[in-house]
Each structure stands twice: as structure tokens, then as C-alpha cells.
């Protein structure tokens, strides 16, 4: 057989095998290293700090776990959250993440390695991303081969869609969940392939870990049954499927019910019914198979028909009945919002107000996946060519995940692994074809060969890879199953014509193109990671005039001030975004936080913020609020501030008190959202507006003050506060803290007390009511 | 060994020989009080004349109020540097004063004179008055002391000078009922920044209840102070010596407190920024702290409970060779996250690595290492209320000895386990109270480390990893399959 380039022939197969194995190990460790290293931008550019909002709660819970032990954590009732309600943390949290870091922490300390718990938490996500790369390798290996596995591992290691949730410091459930997701799927595929109860149990154990770690476990809960159902409908029922599914479902469901936050949901909510239904269906089908071996085929046909219809009708009725009776919880709002993107905006403003719950904008697909967006469909198509059981899984996964990723930005995360897998399959097929040195035997009609050669070499690289793969597959030596398939389909027309790639130049063009795509991918990933995804958001960065980095540290300044200089039991009210941060950094009780379980409580805060001082004051006093914290970006142009979030507060408050708070009142008559002279009266009198702009224009020394976020001039007359006192303002005015005054000791209302103190005469426009009483 | 221990028996003898008869006369007593924020420096000079032969000790009295404030004292002969041994006498009942016996360097014969300088440092001696002040207000402090310096001997003339750092003294007390000693009607005068009480002539021995009841009286000086009054409520310093890394790691956990007048009302950033803009900082606000760390340090870190203090800067200086006297420092401009106003706290952690050879030497004759450990990093004008200093020696260090410049309130030796230790390291813990810049001296610790102790860590780590590899090897080679399948492909 002729080859395009010389290959050494005097190497023993054992040497090749060992070398390949060594290379794989080296490649995997390098990929792990790259995965970890690219996530360290946040630590190097900033510091080893916990990022954003939710991670602060996880970190706080982990500290409790590490310092007080597991049982204390399990029974932890946190009276400082959701003041005055409190929160049963042990029962309302997915403990997987905290327990993982707690175990790592205790293990390291048992070895006398004094690692700070904060560093364990910060480095957990990068560490697990290395494991994810390995799990993806194992998973893709089942799809195609080791080389595709390595490609997939490299992709998942650096793809921004996953990095966005797993940079160092982003200590959130997703950090470990993606590893668990991929490993559970790997175990499932392995169990399905081998019919192995052992791997089924592994899948169940990792499923349990996943349930303990992330609310997104429902994705597995529905993906695996969907796969099983699809196999069933395709007539691919086998004892392997039966063993794998039942061992996974039985053990996994029982295990998942041990997590207190999940409890009896697996048998009582609609989201979990699919898994249960498929479990039942599999029993029936298995039983039918058994019956079939004992009765004649005609009888069996009739029997099957009757039984399937009866059971189908019965099952549907039972489901409807149980839902109606309330035994099975109906679909939740979050679920509906997955199908109707406008649903949340109308009915659950809290969910809609979170930016990561918005539908994904198309540029973010490219930003998060770059060229994998184009190779992903090719990989999925390639899966169709062979269509083994596991390929069906990838196809289903990619369809479902693509839909969800389009609906919600945060679900991009679940799409990313399958994109990496499918793209790796496509690219690896491409590379296999073009690197493979065997040339097809020279034909009699050379024209054909030349044209094939020409078309493939001139084909632009952006052309659908699947086309090339088709050609490639056709030319590939018959050892791949894909080749068989194509050969079989093409042979229908006539005698198989040998196809393939001649010469080195055509190979080089394609390989070079592919390699440069990969290289650009690396550059893109690095750039996106360092610029977009590595900001801790508690610390902001700007540049000094000389180009050096300047850190804007207002959040921590204010939180630390609260922590050190206020009484330990003083209650801080802020919008819920900052609840976890205040609890974590300032260690003070908060009214509402990022665990948005009580809509009314949040609406109360929204009402207090959006009403006038007189209306808000009784609310504040009733909730024992000592300090009110607002975020104001007007001075340095920090656009994520509370005035920009204000309309959500109004909307959420309006949802509960439609008579008192109306959104249109906060706009100008022209329907504009303004903060300057033309702002509506309600807007100007709202507590949020007053606190944000309190004494702001004095900063400009007589010149008109400009809000740099809204690009509007603030009114000349700044707002005055009667019921609150400014307690602290951070260096760049981002965080402003106000103290709620206590009632006047003389029993006056604070407004008139204030006027009296300022020496203003009380206006007596009306006669004093006392006089009238005498009359 | 500290000197005072050696001279202890001598003191007991000296104390016995001091009988009640007058053996000494004070020709002049001058007390100078240098007012500050949390630290007040009091120097009392006793010019004495012996009335008998072989005078070996001299007794100094401190009023009870002064005694409780005094955190450090030293007696020297004027013009000399060596300090004299001081022995504190037991207090009887509710005496209004405390007596100290100072051992004279050589016995004094009749009519010979000598000047003894008695230096004390008082901490927490001033209080903010008024106790609350607005953000733009001045900071005024009040210092209270007794008008007479007590002495068990008759005194010819006595003066008390109270010096403030700025000439802006608001008020001072006019002592009463002192006509019998004072030459003029007013026994107090003020010139510039100094308030002088006295001169008072021909005082009888004043360590009698009668005198104290009749004449002794408190005087107040109320003055403006331009620097913030700083207190370090708690300082936890841990020093770890590593021979493997040739490194001396020092870590301070500091709780800083502004003990000036508490802030009236609230903090206004606008006013603060206005003050900064016009360069008129309020005297009781601490915006930043300049710390002098040792030269040659590296990997310095400063963080608090929630992360790096990104506002601070460090300029390091290279190490100074050992045989040369160097006064170079690494300068840390430490800026707390927020300006520290009166009554505010700020706690942070500060640490650094330093080359071990800068502070350690090896004695070839005895085979001992000697390490110099500074008790604290001096912060000018601040008092350290409580310090806990832990010195962690290398693993396997034996025969640990130490020498302290002044006795600690408690000393403890225990075992500390860290970084891959198997048996743990000896750790010494010293506790101190009310430290000032004067006490920023060093503790010397010496110990022996054998070669085998040095090798403990690599051997332990090597054994553990070897064990892991062997386990891996075994698990690869043992077949645990229950029933052997025939080969599939």
C-alpha cells in the first residue's frame, strides 16, 4: 500500500502502544495544567479572593463546616439571614460543594499542611476543571477514540463557556457540578455499553454527588430517562439497558432523597416523573420480553397491543389524578420560564431581574465557544453516521442543551461539554482522515482521483467539516466503522469506487488550516478569560494614568467598616444582590439575600426603597433596620448600581402592593427614566433616590453635578434626609451606608424635629387641630 | 539572664539596711512630663546628697495613680547609660504610693551628691476631653497627675514641668493650699508649650498619709494634640524559623484602635475629601500608617479578614551585611481600608519573609543557633495593650534557651505542628502588656538542631510518596475480577 509520507515500519506494536499511552498521560497532564493555569488570571491580576455574590455564601457556609464540624453545619440555623425570619441553612442548601472543600481542608490539615480554607475554596474550581477535562476525555473516548478524547479534554479545559463559571475564586456549585455531570454521563454510557450494574451504581453514586452539589441535577434526571426512552422507541431495548437504567435509577433516587433539600421531591414533583415513568416502562417492557419468550408471536402481538394501550391510559390518568390531588407538585414557575421566555417577566419579576436568567444573545455563543459553534453540528451529524447507543445520547444531549442554552444565559454551561465532545469528534475525524498516510490505490481512470484530490485540497476550511469528513470517511481505511457505513451506502449504487486523498499538499493545507483554527481558539480563550471572566466583581480594576493597575476597593472598604465599627447585631438593609456579601464580609444580619426564597420579604425591601421617607420609616423600624446600604456608581461611572436596578425593586414591590407602588410613577411624563430636574416627584422622593444623591452635588463645589452613569445633571437642590443619617460613604462613593434614626425622644416626628433643630419655623398653613377640637 | 535576677539577693540586703532615719536629702527634684497621645514620657531627676556613709540604695516613691499607668521604668545616673537595678517594694494595705529601691553603683559617703534620673513611660495616661468630637473638630486631651513628687526624704526644691507638643494648652489647674511651700502666690506658670508647677521649697518627707491628705492634690493639663491617639489592642506576632527555606517568617495580627475622641455624629466622606483637598487633615483621623519593617524582607503580605489591603504600598530595602551597623528599613505605607476616625477599629494581618542569616548566627563551639527575634515593630506613639509573641523553632530543635530584655508576664513552651511535620516543633510563647516604642527590643533564642532532625521532613515525604507508588504498582498488577472473561477482541 502506498503512503503519502514515509512511516517507520520497524517498530514493534508494543512500543507503539506504550508510547501512545505515555503520550496520552503527558497530554492529559498538560491539559490539566492548562485548564488550571488559565483559571488563575483572577488570582494573578487581583488576589486570592472569593468572587461575586453566591460564592460568598458558599464560602461562609464552608467556614462554618470547617470550623464547627459537619453536624453543626447540618443543623445550622442562621438567624442573621432573612432577618427576622432566619434561614435553616442545613436544609436549604446543596451541601456537596461545602462538604467537598471541607474534606479537602481536613485532609490537608491531617497531613499538617496548613492551608487556609479560603485558598481551598478559591482553588476548588480550577482543580475540578482539571478533573472535568479528564472526565470529558473518558466520555469522548467512548464516543470515538482516545485522540478525540484528548481533543475534547483540551477544549473543555480552556473553553470560555466553562471558564466563565470556574475561574479561581468563583466558588459556586457549578465549579464541581460540571465534572460530576460529565462523569455521571460517562458512567451511564459505560454501564449501558457493558450492561454493568457496577457502572450503573457508579453512575448513581455520582448522580447522588451531583444532587448534593447543584440544583441542575434535574438535567441528569431527565437526560438519562430521555436517552433510555429514545433507545426503547428505536427498538433498541436490551438487557444491558435494563440493568444500567434500573441500577442507576433505584440507587440514585434513593441516594438523592438523602439530601434534605431534595427530600421527597424525586417521587413527588413533575420534574422527576419522567425518570420514574421510564423506570416503570422498562419494567413493563422487560416483562413483555419475558412473556414473549413463552407465548407465540401472534398471541403476543395482540396481548402487547391491549396491555400497552391499557397501561398508557391508566398511567396518564394516574398522573393527572395525582397532580390534581396535589400529590405530585405542579410545574414550578422556573420550569415554565424555560418554555416561555416572557413568562418570568410577567409573573415572577425576581427571576427575570437576574441577568443570568435572560435569554442568551447570539454573540455570547461565539464568545463562549468560538469556532466550536461551527464544528459542533458537524460532530452531531457524524454521530448519526454510526448511531451506536451512546451516539444517540450525544445527539439528544446536544438538542436539549442547545435549546436550554438559548433560553437562559446560565444554561450555556450545560451546553458547553457536549459542544466540546461533538467538536472533538468532528475535528478528530477530520484530522484522522488527513493525517492518515495511506493513499488509495491508483485507479485506471485517473481523472476521478484527480478531481477528488483537487476538490478536497481547494475546499476552503470553513466549509462544513462534515462534508470533508464524508469524503474522509470514504477514503479512510476500512478499519473504522464509519468507513464501513459509508462504503455500504455508496456501494448501493454500484461497485465501491476507491476514494481518498492523494499527495502531501492537500493533506498539509487542511491540517494547517485546522491547526491554525485551534491556535486561534487558544488565543481567543485566553483573551476572553483574562478580559471578561476573571473579574472578582467585589474588586474593580481601573488604570492609572501611567498604565499601572488601580484597584477600586469600595465594596470591601464599606463592608469591613460595617464589620469593625458597628454593633454586631445591627441589621443592614440592602437590595438582595448584596445580602450574601454583607453576611460574608461584614458579618451582619441582613433582611434579604441572594437566596430569593421569600418574595414578600424582598418586595418589602423594594417598597421601602421606592417609597418616600415617611412611608419607609415605619417599615424600617418594624424590621429593626439599623443601617441601609445602597450602591451608587454615579461618581465614577459604575453602571451596576442600585439606581439602575431600581425599576426591578419597583416592579417587585408593585407585584405585592399594586395600590401603593406603581411603576409608571417613576418615569417622566414622556416615559423616560431620569434622575435630573425632570425626574418625576415620586422618583425624587423615593428613599433610594434620596440616599444615592444625598450631598452628591456638594462634591462639585457649586458646579452642576453630573451623574456619570446616567450622563445627566443632578438637580441643583440636593435631596435632604430626615429619617436617616449618612453613616459611611466609601472612597469612590460606590457604597453609601445610612443609619436609621431612632424615634425622637420628645415624641415629635423626625421631620419636624429636624426642622426645629435647623431653626426653621413650622409652617402653619392650617389652624392647629387642637383648636378645632375645642370648638 | 537579665541583670535584675543576679542582683536580687543584694537587694534584699539593701532593703534591710534602709532604716527609717533620714540618710539622704533631695537637694532638687525636677519632674518633666512630655505629653503625648497614648504614651506619656515622665523623667524625674533627683539630685541627692547623702547624710551618712556607705549609702547603697535610694528609695523612690511613685503615687498610686502614676504607678498604675506606668508600663516601663528605668533609673540611671545622670550622664551615664547603664541602668541601675530597681526593686519594687511590697505595698502595704492601701498605701497611696509605691516605693522602689534603686541600688547605687557605688556606696555614697557623707555629703557626696549624685543625680539619679528616673525615667518612666506612662500609657493610657491621657483621655480625650471632650470625649466626643466632630469630624472637623480639634482633638483635645487631658492629662492628670499629682502636683508633688513624693519622696521619703526631705526635699529642698521641687519642680514639675509639663510639656505639650504644641504650645496650645487650653487650661491647667491652679493648685491650692500650697502657700507653705511656694515662694510666690501662684505656684504655676505657663510659658510656650510648658506648664511649670513650682518651685516648691523645703518639703518634708512626703510619703506620709498626713502629707498626702493635707497637701497632695491632682492637677489637670488640658491641651490640643495634633496626632491621632493610637492603641494596638492586641498584637499577635508569630515568628517561624525554617532552616530548609533559610527563612524567618514573621506575622503580626494587629487590632488597631483610635483611642482619640469618639466621632460625634457620623462620618461624612464629603467633609473628609474636602479636608484632604485643602490639606487640612483633622488631627484625630488616621488615614495611613508608616511602618518600618526590617531591611531585606521579601514576600510581604498585608491582608485582613476579607482579603488584601489593596491600598497599601511597600518599599523594600536590601539586607544590611551583618558586621555593619545599618539603619535602613523597608517602609510600608499601610493604609487601612477606611480612614480611622476616633473610636474606630481596624484589624489586619501583616507578614513577611526575611533571610534567616540576617537574624541568626551559628556558634561553632557549642553547636547552637542563636536567633534574634524583635518583640514588636515599633509604631511611633502607639501603645500595644496585649502582645502574644510565639517563636516557632525548627522541627527537632532541642535544648532551647532564651533571654528576654525584660520579663514577660507569662512564658510557655509547647509543641506546634505545621507544614508536613511529623513530631512537631517546639514553640515559645511570651505574653506582654502595655508595650511602647521603648520596649521594641529583641528576644534571643538559642537551640540545637541535629542533622537527623533536618532530614526528618524529606524522609517522611519520601516514604509517603514511595508508599503511594508501591500501592499503585500493586493495584495495577492484582486482578480483582470475579470471573475471568474470555478475551473479547
State how far the Cα of A677 lies from the Cα of A689, in Å rounded to an integer: 13
Q: Is A539 on the interface with B (CB under 8 A)?
A: yes
Q: Going by C-beta distance under 8 Å and a sequence separation of 6 or more, which residues neighbour residue B465? A: none
Contact criterion met (CB < 8 Å) for B270 and A727: no
Instruction: Dig out the grid coordinates for A329 from the structure.
Output: 407538585
Q: In this predicted structure, what is the pLDDT of residue A631?
A: 92
Shortest Cα distance, chain A CAs vs residue B253, angstroms: 15
Q: Is A109 on the interface with B (CB under 8 A)?
A: no
Contact criterion met (CB < 8 Å) for B269 and A553: no
What residue of B is the nearest CA neighbor of A732? B269
Contact criterion met (CB < 8 Å) for A730 and B306: no
State how far the Cα of A204 lies from the Cα of A183, in Å rounded to an integer: 11
State how far the Cα of A319 lies from the Cα of A315, in Å rounded to an integer: 6
Residues of B in contact with A731 (CB under 8 A): 269, 338
Residues of B in contact with A551 (CB under 8 A): 310-311
Contact criterion met (CB < 8 Å) for A725 and B304: no
Q: How confident is the model at residue A463 (pLDDT cuts 50, 70, 90)?
A: very low
**What is the side-by-side order of every strand in the sheet holding B368-374?**
B360-363, B368-374, B442-449, B397-403
Residues of A in contact with B311 (CB under 8 A): 551, 553
DSSP notation for A21-56: HHHHHHHHHHHHHHHHHHTTHHHHHT-S---SSHHH
Q: In this predicted structure, what is the pLDDT of residue A767?
A: 52
Contact criterion met (CB < 8 Å) for A731 and B344: no
Q: What is the pLDDT of residues A517-536, one digit of tens each?
A: 999 999 999 999 988 888 88
pLDDT at A447 over 60: no
Q: In this predicted structure, what is the pLDDT of residue A323?
A: 76
Q: In this predicted structure, what is the pLDDT of residue A769?
A: 52
Tell me which residue in A113, A584, A725 faces B266 most closely, judged by beta carbons. A725
pLDDT at A54 over 70: yes
Best of A112, A539, A588, A735 to mutate (most B CBs within 10 Å, chain B): A112
Residue B339 and residue B286 in contact, taking contact as beta carbons nearer than 8 Å: yes
Best of A481, A555, A557 to mutate (most B CBs within 10 Å, chain B): A557
Low-confidence ranges of chain B (pLDDT < 70): 1-21, 185, 322-326, 482-489
Three-state SS annotation for A573-642: ECCHHHHHHHHHHHCCCECCCCCCCCHHHHHHHHHHHHCCHHHHHHHHHHCCEEEEEEECCCCCCCCCCH
Share of chain A above pLDDT 90, in %: 30
Tell me which residue in A556, A584, A739 faces B266 most closely, judged by beta carbons. A739
Q: What is the pLDDT of residues A545-566, one digit of tens each?
A: 887 788 888 899 999 999 998 9
Shortest Cα distance, chain A CAs vs residue B306, angstroms: 6
Contact criterion met (CB < 8 Å) for A564 and B347: yes
Contact criterion met (CB < 8 Å) for B308 and A49: yes
Q: How confident is the model at residue A267 (pLDDT cuts 50, 70, 90)?
A: confident
Q: In this predicted structure, what is the pLDDT of residue A451?
A: 40
Taking all residues of chain A, what is their mean pLDDT, rounded to a whole number?
Answer: 84
Interface of B with A (CB under 8 A): 265-270, 273, 304-308, 310-311, 337-338, 343-347, 417-422
State how far the Cα of B368 lies from the Cα of B467, in Å rounded to an integer: 35
Q: In this predicted structure, what is the pLDDT of residue A192?
A: 92
Contact criterion met (CB < 8 Å) for B419 and A725: no
Q: What is the pLDDT of residues A119-156, one digit of tens each?
A: 999 999 999 999 999 999 999 999 888 999 999 999 99
Residue A98 and residue A65 in contact, taking contact as beta carbons nearer than 8 Å: yes
pLDDT at A766 over 70: no
| H or E stretch covering B259 | none
Residue A538 and residue A555 in contact, taking contact as beta carbons nearer than 8 Å: yes
Instruction: Dig out the grid coordinates for A616 from the structure.
Output: 419607609
Best of B269, B342, B423, B461 to mutate (most A CBs within 10 Å, chain A): B269
Shortest Cα distance, chain B CAs vs residue A154, angstroms: 26
Residue B246 is given by DSSP the state T
pLDDT at A477 over 50: no
Residues of A in contact with B420 (CB under 8 A): 111-113
ipTM for the whole predicted complex goes beyond 0.90: no
Q: Which residues pair with A628 in a beta bridge?
A: A573, A738
Shortest Cα distance, chain A CAs vs residue B307, angstroms: 6
Instruction: Dig out the grid coordinates for A759 from the structure.
Output: 431653626
Residues of B in contact with A725 (CB under 8 A): 265-266
Question: Phi then psi for B379, rounded to 5 degrees?
Answer: -120, 115
Residues of A in contact with B307 (CB under 8 A): 47-49, 539, 556
Shortest Cα distance, chain A CAs vs residue B40, angstroms: 27
Shortest Cα distance, chain B CAs vs residue A217, angstroms: 32
Residue A736 and residue A728 in contact, taking contact as beta carbons nearer than 8 Å: yes
Residues of B in contact with A698 (CB under 8 A): 270
Residues of B in contact with A727 (CB under 8 A): 266-267
Q: What is the pLDDT of residues A607-666, one digit of tens each?
A: 999 998 888 898 898 989 999 999 998 888 888 888 888 888 898 888 888 888 888 888
Contact criterion met (CB < 8 Å) for B421 and A551: no
Average pLDDT for A225-242: 89
Identify the weakest region by mean pLDDT among A249-263, A293-307, A461-475, B104-118. A461-475
Q: How confident is the model at residue A544 (pLDDT cuts 50, 70, 90)?
A: confident
Contact criterion met (CB < 8 Å) for A556 and B419: no
What residue of B is the nearest CA neighbor of A49? B307
Tell me which residue in B270, B307, B421 faces A49 most closely, judged by beta carbons. B307
* CA dihedral sign, ordered A133, A135, A139, A145: positive
Tell me which residue in A539, A565, A733 faces B310 most closely, judged by beta carbons. A539
What residue of A is the nearest CA neighbor of B347? A564
Q: What is the pLDDT of residues A720-730, one digit of tens each?
A: 888 888 889 99
Q: Is A47 on the interface with B (CB under 8 A)?
A: yes
What residue of A is the nearest CA neighbor of B346? A564
Contact criterion met (CB < 8 Å) for B305 and A563: yes
Q: Going by C-beta distance under 8 Å and a sequence separation of 6 or more, which residues neighbour residue B400? A: B393, B413, B426, B428, B445, B446, B447
Residues of B in contact with A48 (CB under 8 A): 307
Contact criterion met (CB < 8 Å) for A560 and B421: no
Contact criterion met (CB < 8 Å) for B420 and A112: yes
Burial of B30-45, coded b for 16+ CB within 10 Å and e otherwise, reads bbbbebbbbbbbbbbb
Q: How confident is the model at residue A331 (pLDDT cuts 50, 70, 90)?
A: low
pLDDT at A35 over 90: yes
Contact criterion met (CB < 8 Å) for B344 and A111: no
What residue of A is the nearest CA neighbor of B337? A557
- Give the distance from CA A684 to its chain's centroid: 37
Q: Is A585 on the interface with B (CB under 8 A)?
A: yes
Shortest Cα distance, chain B CAs vs residue A520, angstroms: 35
Share of chain A above pLDDT 70, in %: 89
Contact criterion met (CB < 8 Å) for B266 and A727: yes
pLDDT at A718 over 90: no
Higher pLDDT, B207 or A736: A736
Amino acid at each position: 500500500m502506498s503512503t503519502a509520507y514515509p512511516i517507520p515500519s520497524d517498530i514493534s506494536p508494543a512500543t507503539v502502544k506504550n508510547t501512545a499511552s505515555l503520550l496520552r498521560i503527558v497530554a492529559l497532564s498538560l491539559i490539566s495544567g492548562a485548564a488550571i493555569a488559565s483559571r488563575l488570571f483572577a488570582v494573578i491580576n487581583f488576589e486570592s479572593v472569593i468572587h461575586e455574590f453566591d460564592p460568598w455564601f458558599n464560602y461562609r457556609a464552608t467556614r462554618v463546616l470547617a470550623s464547627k464540624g459537619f453536624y453543626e453545619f447540618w443543623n445550622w440555623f442562621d438567624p442573621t439571614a432573612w432577618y427576622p425570619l432566619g434561614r435553616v441553612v442545613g436544609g436549604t442548601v446543596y451541601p456537596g460543594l461545602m462538604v467537598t472543600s471541607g474534606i479537602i481542608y481536613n485532609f490537608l490539615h491531617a497531613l499538617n499542611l496548613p492551608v487556609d480554607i479560603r485558598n481551598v475554596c478559591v482553588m476548588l474550581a480550577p482543580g475540578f476543571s482539571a478533573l472535568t477535562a479528564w472526565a470529558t476525555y473518558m466520555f469522548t473516548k467512548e464516543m470515538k477514540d482516545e485522540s478525540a478524547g484528548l481533543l475534547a479534554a483540551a477544549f473543555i479545559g480552556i473553553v470560555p463557556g466553562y471558564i466563565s463559571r470556574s475561574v479561581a475564586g468563583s466558588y459556586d456549585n457549578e465549579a464541581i457540578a460540571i465534572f460530576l455531570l460529565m462523569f455521571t454521563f460517562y458512567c451511564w454510557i459505560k454501564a449501558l455499553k457493558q450492561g454493568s450494574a457496577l457502572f450503573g451504581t457508579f453512575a448513581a453514586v455520582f448522580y447522588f454527588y451531583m444532587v448534593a452539589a447543584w440544583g441542575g441535577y434535574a438535567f441528569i434526571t431527565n437526560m438519562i430517562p430521555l436517552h433510555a426512552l429514545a433507545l426503547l422507541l428505536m427498538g433498541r431495548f436490551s438487557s444491558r439497558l435494563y440493568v444500567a437504567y434500573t441500577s442507576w435509577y433505584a440507587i440514585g433516587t434513593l441516594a438523592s432523597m438523602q439530601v434534605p433539600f431534595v427530600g421527597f421531591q424525586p417521587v413527588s414533583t413533575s420534574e422527576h416523573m419522567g425518570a420514574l415513568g421510564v423506570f416503570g416502562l422498562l419494567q413493563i417492557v422487560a416483562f413483555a420480553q419475558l412473556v414473549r419468550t413463552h407465548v407465540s408471536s401472534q398471541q403476543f402481538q395482540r396481548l402487547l397491543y391491549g396491555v400497552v394501550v391499557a397501561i398508557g391510559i391508566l398511567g396518564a390518568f394516574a398522573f393527572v389524578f395525582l397532580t390534581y390531588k396535589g400529590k405530585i407538585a405542579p410545574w414550578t414557575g422556573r420550569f415554565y420560564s424555560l418554555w416561555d421566555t416572557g413568562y418570568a417577566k410577567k409573573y415572577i419579576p425576581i427571576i427575570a431581574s437576574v441577568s443570568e436568567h435572560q435569554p442568551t444573545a447570539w454573540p455570547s455563543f461565539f464568545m463562549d465557544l468560538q469556532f466550536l459553534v461551527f464544528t459542533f453540528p458537524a460532530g452531531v451529524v457524524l454521530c448519526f453516521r454510526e448511531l451506536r447507543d451512546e451516539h444517540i445520547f450525544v445527539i439528544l444531549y446536544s438538542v436539549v442543551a442547545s435549546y436550554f442554552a438559548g433560553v437562559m444565559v446560565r444554561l450555556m454551561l450545560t451546553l458547553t461539554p457536549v459542544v466540546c465532545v461533538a467538536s472533538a469528534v468532528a475535528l478528530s475525524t477530520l484530522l484522522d482522515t488527513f493525517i492518515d498516510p495511506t493513499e488509495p490505490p491508483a485507479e485506471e481512470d485517473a481523472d476521478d482521483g484527480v478531481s477528488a484530490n483537487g476538490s478536497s485540497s481547494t475546499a476552503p476550511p470553513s466549509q462544513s467539516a462534515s462534508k470533508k469528513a464524508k469524503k474522509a470517511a470514504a477514503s479512510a481505511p476500512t478499519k473504522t466503522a464509519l468507513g464501513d457505513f459509508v462504503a455500504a451506502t455508496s456501494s448501493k449504487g454500484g461497485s465501491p469506487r476507491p476514494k481518498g486523498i492523494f499527495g502531501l499538499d492537500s493533506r498539509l493545507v487542511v491540517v494547517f488550516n485546522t491547526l491554525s483554527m485551534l491556535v486561534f481558539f487558544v488565543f481567543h480563550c485566553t483573551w476572553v478569560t483574562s478580559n471578561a471572566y476573571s473579574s472578582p466583581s467585589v474588586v474593580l480594576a481601573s488604570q492609572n494614568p501611567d498604565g499601572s493597575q488601580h484597584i477600586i476597593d469600595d465594596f470591601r472598604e464599606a463592608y469591613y467598616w460595617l464589620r469593625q465599627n458597628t454593633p454586631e447585631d445591627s441589621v443592614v438593609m440592602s437590595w438582595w444582590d448584596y445580602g450574601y456579601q454583607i453576611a460574608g464580609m461584614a458579618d451582619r444580619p441582613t433582611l434579604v439575600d441572594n437566596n430569593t426564597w421569600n418574595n414578600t420579604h424582598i418586595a418589602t425591601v423594594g417598597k421601602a426603597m421606592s417609597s418616600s421617607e415617611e412611608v419607609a420609616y415605619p417599615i424600617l423600624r418594624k424590621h429593626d433596620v439599623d443601617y441601609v446600604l445602597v450602591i451608587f456608581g454615579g461618581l465614577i461611572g459604575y453602571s451596576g448600581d442600585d439606581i439602575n436596578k431600581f425599576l426591578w425593586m419597583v416592579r417587585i414591590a408593585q407585584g405585592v402592593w399594586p395600590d401603593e407602588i406603581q411603576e409608571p410613577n417613576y418615569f417622566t411624563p414622556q416615559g423616560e427614566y431620569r434622575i435630573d430636574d425632570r425626574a418625576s416627584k415620586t422618583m425624587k422622593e423615593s428613599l433610594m433616590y434620596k440616599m444615592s444623591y444625598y450631598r452628591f452635588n456638594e462634591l462639585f463645589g457649586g458646579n452642576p453635578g453630573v451623574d456619570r452613569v446616567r450622563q445627566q445633571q443632578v438637580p441643583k437642590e440636593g435631596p435632604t434626609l430626615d429619617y436617616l443619617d449618612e453613616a459611611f460613604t466609601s472612597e469612590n462613593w460606590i457604597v453609601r451606608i445610612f443609619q436609621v434614626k431612632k424615634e425622637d425622644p420628645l415624641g415629635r416626628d423626625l421631620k419636624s424635629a429636624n426642622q426645629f433643630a435647623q431653626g426653621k419655623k413650622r409652617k402653619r398653613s392650617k389652624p392647629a387641630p387642637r383648636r378645632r377640637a375645642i370648638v | 539572664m537579665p541583670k535584675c535576677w543576679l542582683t536580687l539577693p543584694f537587694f534584699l540586703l539593701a532593703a534591710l539596711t534602709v532604716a527609717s532615719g533620714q540618710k539622704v536629702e533631695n537637694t532638687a527634684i525636677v519632674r518633666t512630663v512630655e505629653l503625648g497621645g497614648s504614651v506619656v514620657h515622665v523623667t524625674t531627676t533627683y539630685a541627692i546628697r547623702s547624710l551618712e556613709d556607705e549609702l547603697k540604695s535610694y528609695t523612690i516613691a511613685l503615687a498610686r495613680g502614676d504607678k498604675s499607668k506606668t508600663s516601663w521604668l528605668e533609673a540611671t545616673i545622670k550622664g551615664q547609660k547603664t541602668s541601675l537595678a530597681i526593686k519594687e517594694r511590697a505595698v502595704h494595705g492601701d498605701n497611696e504610693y509605691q516605693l522602689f529601691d534603686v541600688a547605687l553603683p557605688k556606696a555614697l559617703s557623707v555629703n557626696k551628691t549624685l543625680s539619679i534620673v528616673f525615667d518612666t513611660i506612662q500609657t493610657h495616661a491621657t483621655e480625650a476631653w471632650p470625649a466626643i468630637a466632630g469630624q472637623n473638630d480639634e482633638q483635645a486631651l487631658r492629662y492628670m497627675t499629682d502636683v508633688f513628687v513624693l519622696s521619703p526624704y526631705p526635699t529642698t526644691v521641687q519642680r514639675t514641668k509639663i510639656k505639650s507638643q504644641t504650645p496650645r494648652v487650653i487650661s491647667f489647674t491652679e493648685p491650692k493650699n500650697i502657700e507653705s511651700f511656694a515662694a510666690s502666690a501662684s505656684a504655676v506658670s505657663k510659658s510656650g508649650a510648658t506648664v511649670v508647677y513650682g518651685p516648691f521649697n523645703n518639703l518634708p518627707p512626703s510619703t506620709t498619709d498626713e502629707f498626702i491628705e493635707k497637701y497632695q492634690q491632682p492637677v489637670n493639663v488640658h491641651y490640643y494634640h495634633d496626632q491621632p491617639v493610637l492603641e494596638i489592642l492586641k498584637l499577635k506576632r508569630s515568628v517561624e524559623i525554617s532552616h530548609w527555606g533559610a527563612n524567618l517568617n514573621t506575622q503580626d495580627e494587629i487590632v488597631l484602635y483610635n483611642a482619640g475622641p469618639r466621632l460625634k455624629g457620623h462620618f461624612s466622606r464629603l467633609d473628609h475629601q474636602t479636608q484632604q483637598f485643602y490639606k487640612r487633615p483633622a488631627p484625630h483621623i488616621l488615614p495611613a500608617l508608616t511602618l518600618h519593617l526590617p531591611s531585606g524582607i521579601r514576600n510581604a503580605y498585608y491582608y485582613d479578614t476579607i482579603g488584601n489591603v489593596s491600598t497599601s504600598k511597600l518599599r523594600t530595602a536590601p539586607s544590611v551585611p551583618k558586621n555593619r551597623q545599618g539603619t535602613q528599613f523597608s517602609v510600608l505605607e499601610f493604609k487601612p481600608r477606611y480612614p480611622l476616625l476616633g473610636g474606630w477599629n481596624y484589624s489586619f494581618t501583616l507578614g513577611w519573609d526575611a533571610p534567616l542569616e540576617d537574624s541568626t548566627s551559628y556558634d561553632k563551639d557549642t553547636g547552637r543557633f542563636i536567633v534574634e527575634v524583635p518583640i514588636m515593630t515599633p509604631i511611633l506613639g502607639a501603645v500595644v495593650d496585649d502582645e502574644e509573641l510565639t517563636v516557632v523553632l525548627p522541627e527537632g530543635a532541642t535544648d532551647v534557651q532564651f533571654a528576654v530584655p525584660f520579663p514577660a508576664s507569662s512564658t510557655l513552651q509547647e509543641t506546634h505542628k505545621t507544614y508536613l511535620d511529623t513530631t512537631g516543633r517546639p514553640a515559645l510563647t511570651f505574653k506582654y502588656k502595655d508595650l511602647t516604642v521603648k520596649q521594641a527590643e529583641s528576644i534571643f533564642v538559642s537551640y540545637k538542631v541535629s542533622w537527623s532532625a533536618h532530614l526528618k521532613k524529606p524522609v517522611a515525604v519520601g516514604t509517603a510518596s514511595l508508599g503511594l507508588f508501591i500501592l499503585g504498582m500493586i493495584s495495577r498488577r492484582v486482578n480483582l475480577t470475579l470471573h475471568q472473561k474470555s478475551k473479547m477482541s
